[in-house]
């Protein structure tokens, strides 16, 4: 029996050849950059995955290339329901619309599909069949137990672990012997018949890490699983990225050690390898230790975190870009309004070591961004977010939209606007007291003046003698000063106070704090004058009286 006949025996139904597929999926136009995001639907999206997506997207879009989504569902045991929908949701939320994709049983876009691996079985089989026929792969009948024993012995003997050379028991079976076992119904996987020599080295260029010297692969890697009739990742990567004409593979650095395998696989078929960018791990500081950010332990590892907190997508993308290319910030300064895809992204500039995702930095980027927005934009964002995550507050802000916008506009329309919020969930905490419906103070943050009788005295005086609703800001403040001067031992002259603080009981600041706290229960707020103007006389009197 020839290997060709063995191949026919193993895959009798497969009639298409790899040449057929080659024709079916022709090369894309010369020079097109093609990237892909290829997640396995096993749960929530991790910030590390998102990092890859951002890179995929800029690299493709910078050159008007193609960015597609491929669903790697070859491990059915680990598949989680709804995971694909969630991935699509995240891409949609961040406006990374893939040019080609496919939803199981639903819409599909692009002519290099199917884009779901479980629907590509026949394609993989054709490629496996070819390899068997060529004698470059073989059916392997080793059981899990046998392999465990080999591994154990290798470990004891301090020898390289894996199925290679003499450890590959089925490697030298003749086609007849193999055929006999198959006919007898024995379970088998398909392994690559590696021609590599571990003692030989080859040069490999990773776009992010630069040139590396690697040992050739000599392991007879499993490329086809017996249980599911599906290929392993390594083989699917080869077939899919070749046929889909991917030019740049951006993936986590945990794949780096598979390069020798992939290198041999591509060489075996004579296919051109795509370019690779292995992205660094996202790390996190945990006490004194720095460790890999973990989906289980760190809420910020999951992309849901940023949506739930209400970070603008702009800020999240900027933060990632800043980690990816450290010259990004400088570029952004010179191009404040350009889309991030205009940035000349360079894989070379990516740090090969792990990056610590800095939430402080995210907050800073976000605050700056939000501070530049108009009140209408802020309102729209806030409205959208609260609709999803805080219905009660959503109702409150919509009761009087103009009023809400006026609040959001305090100290906004000026050259250096306030930077109060980094995410939409921050807003309620800093403006709740502006709404009658929400204003139910639990305690008052009195400052230096905390004697209730004295406070009552000050407030009475203020309301009766100094408060005038129609005052402009200057007049308003002059009144507060006059109030201060009328009090025994207080001064409105800050300079004098600072020179001899011991000569006074307090100053204007202390007096305005009393008013501030009386009206808002907080000792820190934006401009008091603006707040009082918005609150209006009726509410001001009401709040002071109810004290």
Nearer to RNA, 184 or 270 (CB): 184
Nearer to RNA, 5 or 471 (CB): 471
> From the CB of 421, what's the least distance to RNA, in Å?
10
CB-count exposure of residue 295 (10 Å: 0-12, 13-18, 19+): middle
Question: Could you say which residues in the range 37-56 bind RNA, by CB under 7 A?
Answer: 38-40
What does DSSP say about strands 289-292 and 282-286: parallel, antiparallel, or unpaired? Answer: antiparallel
Nearer to RNA, 15 or 503 (CB): 503
Asked if residue 435 lies in contact with residue 539, where contact means CB atoms within 8 angstroms, the answer is no
Among 13, 145, 213, 402, binds RNA (CB under 7 A): 213
> From the CB of 233, what's the least distance to RNA, in Å?
4
Tell me, residue by residue from 344 to 363, as one string, x for binding to RNA by CB under 7 A and - for no binding.
-----x-xxxxxx-x-xx-x
Q: Which stretch in 9-17, 289-297, 384-392, 461-469 sits in contact with RNA by CB under 7 A? A: 289-297
Alpha carbon of residue 307 to chain centroid: 10
Q: Which stretch in 22-30, 277-285, 304-312, 451-459 sits in contact with RNA by CB under 7 A? A: 277-285
Question: Could you say which residues in the range 119-148 bind RNA, by CB under 7 A?
Answer: 143-144, 147
Q: Show the tokens assigned to 278.
A: 């292995």
Question: Could you say which residues in the range 461-520 bind RNA, by CB under 7 A?
Answer: 473, 477, 494, 508-509, 512-513, 516
Nearer to RNA, 148 or 437 (CB): 148
Asked if residue 425 lies in contact with residue 370, where contact means CB atoms within 8 angstroms, the answer is no
> From the CB of 28, what's the least distance to RNA, in Å?
23
Question: Could you say which residues in the range 235-254 bind RNA, by CB under 7 A?
Answer: 253-254
Nearer to RNA, 143 or 384 (CB): 143
- The contacts of residue 32 (CB under 8 Å, 6+ apart) are 65, 66, 245, 247
Question: Could you say which residues in the range 82-111 bind RNA, by CB under 7 A?
Answer: none
Question: Could you say which residues in the range 393-422 bind RNA, by CB under 7 A?
Answer: 411, 416-420
Cα 278 from Cα 350, distance rounded (Å): 9
Among 222, 238, 373, 423, binds RNA (CB under 7 A): 222
Question: Could you say which residues in the range 294-333 bind RNA, by CB under 7 A?
Answer: 322-323, 326-327, 329-330
| 210 lines the binding site for RNA (CB under 7 A) | yes
Asked if residue 192 lies in contact with residue 131, where contact means CB atoms within 8 angstroms, the answer is yes
Q: Which of 275, 246, 262, 242 is nearest to 18 (CA)?
A: 242
Question: Could you say which residues in the range 364-383 bind RNA, by CB under 7 A?
Answer: 364
Cα 208 from Cα 275, distance rounded (Å): 10
Question: Could you say which residues in the range 254-273 bind RNA, by CB under 7 A?
Answer: 254-258
Among 232, 246, 247, 386, binds RNA (CB under 7 A): 232
Question: Which single residue is written with the structure tokens 């401009």?
Answer: 527
Among 103, 161, 179, 544, binds RNA (CB under 7 A): 161
Q: Which stretch in 71-79, 98-106, 128-136, 385-393 sits in contact with RNA by CB under 7 A? A: 71-79
Question: Which single residue is written with the structure tokens 């696989």?
Answer: 265
Phi, psi of 197 (to 5 degrees): -125, 120
Q: What is the DSSP letter of 46?
A: B
- The contacts of residue 17 (CB under 8 Å, 6+ apart) are 126, 130
Asked if residue 248 lies in contact with residue 68, where contact means CB atoms within 8 angstroms, the answer is no
My answer on whether omega of the bond before 196 falls inside 30° of 0, hence cis, is no
- The contacts of residue 314 (CB under 8 Å, 6+ apart) are 369
Nearer to RNA, 17 or 364 (CB): 364
Cα 541 from Cα 547, distance rounded (Å): 10
CB-count exposure of residue 57 (10 Å: 0-12, 13-18, 19+): buried
Nearer to RNA, 369 or 389 (CB): 369
Cα 489 from Cα 496, distance rounded (Å): 13
Asked if residue 68 lies in contact with residue 110, where contact means CB atoms within 8 angstroms, the answer is yes
> From the CB of 459, what's the least distance to RNA, in Å?
15
Tell me, residue by residue from 4 to 33, as one string, x for binding to RNA by CB under 7 A and - for no binding.
------------------------------
Nearer to RNA, 401 or 475 (CB): 475
Q: Which of 229, 175, 180 is nearest to 7 (CA)?
A: 175
Nearer to RNA, 183 or 416 (CB): 416
Nearer to RNA, 75 or 99 (CB): 75
> From the CB of 75, what's the least distance to RNA, in Å?
3
> From the CB of 189, what's the least distance to RNA, in Å?
5
Cα 36 from Cα 248, distance rounded (Å): 8
Helix (H) or strand (E) holding 221, with range, is none
Q: Which stretch in 82-90, 172-180, 296-304, 524-532 sits in contact with RNA by CB under 7 A? A: 524-532
Q: Show the tokens assigned to 322.
A: 């800043």
Q: Which of 276, 200, 210, 190 is nearest to 237 (CA)?
A: 276
Nearer to RNA, 361 or 537 (CB): 361
Asked if residue 293 lies in contact with residue 305, where contact means CB atoms within 8 angstroms, the answer is no
> From the CB of 395, what's the least distance to RNA, in Å?
27
Nearer to RNA, 31 or 489 (CB): 489
């Amino acid at each position: 029996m020839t290997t060709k006949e063995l191949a026919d025996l193993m895959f009798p139904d497969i009639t298409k050849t790899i040449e057929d597929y080659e024709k079916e999926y022709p090369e894309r136009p010369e020079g097109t950059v093609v990237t892909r995001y290829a997640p396995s639907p096993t749960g929530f999206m991790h910030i590390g995955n998102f990092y890859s997506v951002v890179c995929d997207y800029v690299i493709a879009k910078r050159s008007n290339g193609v960015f597609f989504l491929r669903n790697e569902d070859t491990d059915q045991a680990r598949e989680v329901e709804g995971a694909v929908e969630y991935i699509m949701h995240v891409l949609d939320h961040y406006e990374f619309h893939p040019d080609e994709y496919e939803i199981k049983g639903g819409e599909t876009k692009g002519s290099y599909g199917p884009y779901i691996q479980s629907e590509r079985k026949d394609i993989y089989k054709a490629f496996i069949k070819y390899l068997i026929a060529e004698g470059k792969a073989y059916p392997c009948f080793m059981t899990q137990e046998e392999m465990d024993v080999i591994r154990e012995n290798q470990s004891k003997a301090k020898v390289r672990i894996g199925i290679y050379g003499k450890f590959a028991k089925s490697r030298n079976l003749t086609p007849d012997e193999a055929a006999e076992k198959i006919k007898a119904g024995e379970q088998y996987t398909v392994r690559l018949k590696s021609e590599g020599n571990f003692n030989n080295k080859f040069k490999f260029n990773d776009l992010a890490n630069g040139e590396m010297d690697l040992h050739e692969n000599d392991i007879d890697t499993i490329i086809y699983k017996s249980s599911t009739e599906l290929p392993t990742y390594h083989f699917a990567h080869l077939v899919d990225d070749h046929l889909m004409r991917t030019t740049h593979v951006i993936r986590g650095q945990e794949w780096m050690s598979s390069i020798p395998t992939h290198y041999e696989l591509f060489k075996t078929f004579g296919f051109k390898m795509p370019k690779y960018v292995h992205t660094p791990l996202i790390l996190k500081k945990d006490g004194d230790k720095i460790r890999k950010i973990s989906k289980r332990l760190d809420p910020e590892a999951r992309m849901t975190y940023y949506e739930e907190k209400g970070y603008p997508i702009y800020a999240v993308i900027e933060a990632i870009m800043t980690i990816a290319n450290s010259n990004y910030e400088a570029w952004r300064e010179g191009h404040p309004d350009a889309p991030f895809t205009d940035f000349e992204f360079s894989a070379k500039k990516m740090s090969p070591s792990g990056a610590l995702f800095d939430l402080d930095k995210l907050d800073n980027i976000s605050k700056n961004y939000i501070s530049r927005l108009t009140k209408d934009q802020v309102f729209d964002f806030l409205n959208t977010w609260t609709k999803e995550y805080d219905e009660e507050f959503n109702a409150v802000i919509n009761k009087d939209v103009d009023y809400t916008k006026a609040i959001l506009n305090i100290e906004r329309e000026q050259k250096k606007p306030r930077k109060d919020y980094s995410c939409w969930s921050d807003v309620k905490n800093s403006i709740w007291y502006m709404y009658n419906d929400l204003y139910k103070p639990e305690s008052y943050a009195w400052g230096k003046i905390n004697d209730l009788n004295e406070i009552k005295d000050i407030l009475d005086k203020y309301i009766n003698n100094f408060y005038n609703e129609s005052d402009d800001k200057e007049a308003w403040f002059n009144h507060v000063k006059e109030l201060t001067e009328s009090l025994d031992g207080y001064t409105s002259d800050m300079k004098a106070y600072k020179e001899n603080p011991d000569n006074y009981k307090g100053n204007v600041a202390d007096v305005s704090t009393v008013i501030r706290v009386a009206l808002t229960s907080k000792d820190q707020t934006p401009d008091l004058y603006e707040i009082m103007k918005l609150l209006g006389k009726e509410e001001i009197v009401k709040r002071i009286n109810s004290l």
